[in-house]
Amino acid sequence: MPDALDAPLSLDLFFEGWELFREPALAGAIAGALLGLLGVYVVLRRVVFLSAAVSQAAGLGVALSFYAALHLGVAVSPLVGAAVLTGLAVLPFVGGGTDARRESLLGVIWLLGSAGTLAVGTRIVAEVTDIQDILFGTAVAVAPEDFARLWQVALALGLLHLWWWRGFAAASFSRDAARVQGLPVRLLDVVLFATLALAVSLTTRTLGALPAFAFSVLPAVAALAVARSVPQALVLATGLGALTGFGGYLLSFRYSLPVGPAQALLGVALVAALHGPVRAARGVRRLRARFAATT
Amino acid sequence: MASLVSTVGLRVGYAGRPLLPAIDLAIEPGQIWALIGRNGGGKSTLLRTLLGLQPRVGGRMERRAGLRVAYVPQRGDHDPAVPGRVRDVVRGGLDRGWSFLKPSALLDRGAVERALAATETTALARHPFATLSEGQKQRVLIARALAGEPHLLLLDEPTSAMDPVNEEAIFSLLHDLSHQRDLAILVASHQMSFVPRFASHVVMVDKDDGLVEIGDRVAVLSCTACRRKYGDLLPHA
């Protein structure tokens, strides 16, 4: 059998099999675009590990749903359990707070989610595989109903963010001035973090935890290297997110790589491609200024 | 005419504990108030209470109906990682209440141009905010506050980390704005040298000594307790 890395597959094959690949490839693009957009707030508010923590909290929610059904006789949909725990996980981030407080909270939520899931998992051994399936969907194949749910939610959240972006930006980047100007800062925070929790948990469910984390951080980091304003950053991060999701799927097909890591690595490559020249140009300017000062 | 903001027996502090003695003041249009005292003396607590960012511990505070207030936080509160050109930063001052739901095209863009002109920052409009000098940044943040065409402008340490030339320029700008627009201004600062030339009224606070002196500039700068506390550091009226 030839080494896959030595013999990349033709992309013609990909497009010939479009019927087969359409949903996972487009799901990557849609989730990438949505989380790319929201990622600008995630990165600038310094909560980049939020999506990782949210995934773990969702895991605990699903585990608790199974536990309730098995041992307490209470039927709770695993998705509802995940949604409730996800909502509770983002609640502490509504409002201000110092970087240290936010970082500590992220650590606590991640640990509570992961340790809690493992602990509850010992009481629901038979369902642990189901938890993995429900939580960490696979980016290789996406069920039609999951794809439909993803694009519908993405469209709704995208439109909401297009409409409310000035409010979200004011509440995120100039909180005190926004409060003095009478903006409903707390409500804006609640809506922003609720949309973020929904987008992260849905992407995690549909494509997996790694792509969800990658989409919510890397496109925004790349966009912020070159954007000159917040609207520019939002538009650019949306586009780069879509590129990361779709391009990552193409890469995974061509080089027989796992989808999630291929998407994450493409995101890292975009960050390097956009930050590299910017930093190099800055270095050259500094050198020139130093040279001019010494002559 | 009704005062823009008036307080009767206002107590400021944290967790129900007052930090300063009761405060009675009334801010009228066109007045420039200096809120002075040393660092950690209670200035920021009073400022944040007047802004409504912090609940009062006791007493009454009234605002004239329809009052538009603007706030210029300390320069360090502006995150340099947030990208924005000068015009974008100033435009951020336009939204009030739920106006962020309106399309941007319906906002009064003329107010942005007027604010840029008033602060002599029109030429900087397309520059990235992060690349400006300290003095230029402060002018832009004042323009941002002016874009909402406020009746009352409150500034927190607007000249910290500024050289004396820029400091003078900022206070001259505030003085001119107050006169041209009948704008009431309250400046919180640990520096006192600007008070004799620019302030019409003064609030001097010091929580350690339980000191609150409020009144016109001459009265406060010559008060015995203030003189005893600050000696020659306190400028003469």
Report yes or no on A124 lying in a domain. Answer: yes
Report yes or no on A1 lying in a domain. Answer: no
- Residue in chain A closest to B68 (alpha carbons) equals A181
Largest pairwise CA distance in chain A: 82
Phi/psi of residue B60, nearest 5 degrees: -120, 145
State how many domains chain A has.
1
Report yes or no on A74 lying in a domain. Answer: yes
Q: Say if CB B70 and CB B109 are below 8 A apart.
A: no
Q: What is the pLDDT of residue A5?
A: 52
Mean pLDDT of B67-85: 87
Q: What is the pLDDT of residue A227?
A: 95
Per-domain boundaries in chain B: 1-67+151-237, 81-149
> What are B35-55's pLDDT values in tens digits?
998 888 899 999 999 999 999
**A167–B71 CB contact, under 8 Å:** no
Q: Which residues of A touch B69 (CB under 8 A)?
A: 180-181
Distance (Å, whole) CA B132 – CA B134: 7
Mean pLDDT of B163-168: 86
Q: What is the pLDDT of residue A135?
A: 61
Q: What is the pLDDT of residue A96?
A: 63
Q: Which residues of B touch A192 (CB under 8 A)?
A: none
B73 contacts chain A (CB < 8 A): yes
Report yes or no on A3 lying in a domain. Answer: no
Give the minimum alpha-carbon distance from B59 to chain A in angstroms, rounded to a whole number: 21
pLDDT value at B194 more than 90: no
pLDDT along chain A (295 residues), means of 10: 62 86 95 98 91 86 89 86 87 73 87 90 76 66 90 97 96 92 95 92 86 95 95 97 97 91 96 90 83 76
Q: What is the pLDDT of residue A1?
A: 39
CB atoms within 10 A of CB A145: 8
Q: Angle, nearest 10°, between helix axes A128-135 and A50-67?
A: 140
Q: Say if CB B57 and CB B16 are below 8 A apart.
A: yes
Q: Which letter, b or e, does each residue of A168-201 get, where b requires 16 or more Cβ atoms within 10 Å of its Cβ?
A: bbbbbbbbbbbbbbbbbbeebbbbbbbbbbbbbb
Report yes or no on A183 lying in a domain. Answer: yes
Tokens for A4, please give them: 């896959």
Complex ipTM value: 0.89
Tokens for B32, please give them: 């420039």
Report yes or no on A2 lying in a domain. Answer: no
**B96–A184 CB contact, under 8 Å:** no
A160 contacts chain B (CB < 8 A): no
The whole-chain average pLDDT of chain B stands at 91
Q: What is the pLDDT of residue A2?
A: 43
Report yes or no on A273 lying in a domain. Answer: yes
Name the residue type at position A72: L
Distance (Å, whole) CA B160 – CA B138: 10
Domain containing A217: what range?
13-289
CATH number for the domain harbouring residue A205: 1.10.3470.10
DSSP string computed for B160-194: TT--HHHHHHHHHHHHHHHHHHT-EEEEEES--TT
Q: Nearest by CB to A176, from B73, B92, B100: name it.
A: B73
In Å, what is the CA distance from A4 to each residue of A8, A139, A141?
6, 20, 20
Give the minimum alpha-carbon distance from A180 to chain B in angstroms, rounded to a whole number: 6
Distance (Å, whole) CA A55 – CA A36: 17
Determine the residue among B100, B137, B142 to mutate to test chain A binding: the one whose Cβ has the most chain A Cβ atoms within 10 Å.
B100
Please enumerate in sequence order all residues whose Cβ is within 8 A of that of B135, keeping only pairs 6 or more positions apart, or say none.
B162, B166, B169, B170
Burial of residue A88, with CB atoms counted within 10 A of its CB: 0-12 exposed, 13-18 middle, 19 or more buried: middle
Q: Which residues of B touch A229 (CB under 8 A)?
A: 83-85, 88
Q: What is the pLDDT of residue A133?
A: 67
Q: What is the pLDDT of residue A152?
A: 97
What is the CATH architecture assignment of B1-67+151-237?
A: 3-Layer(aba) Sandwich (3.40)
Distance (Å, whole) CA A176 – CA A229: 20
Number of H helices, E strands in chain A: 12, 0
> What are B96-117's pLDDT values in tens digits?
999 999 988 778 889 999 999 9
Burial of residue A38, with CB atoms counted within 10 A of its CB: 0-12 exposed, 13-18 middle, 19 or more buried: buried
Tokens for B61, please give them: 């505070």
Give the minimum alpha-carbon distance from A149 to chain B in angstroms, rounded to a whole number: 27
A163 contacts chain B (CB < 8 A): yes
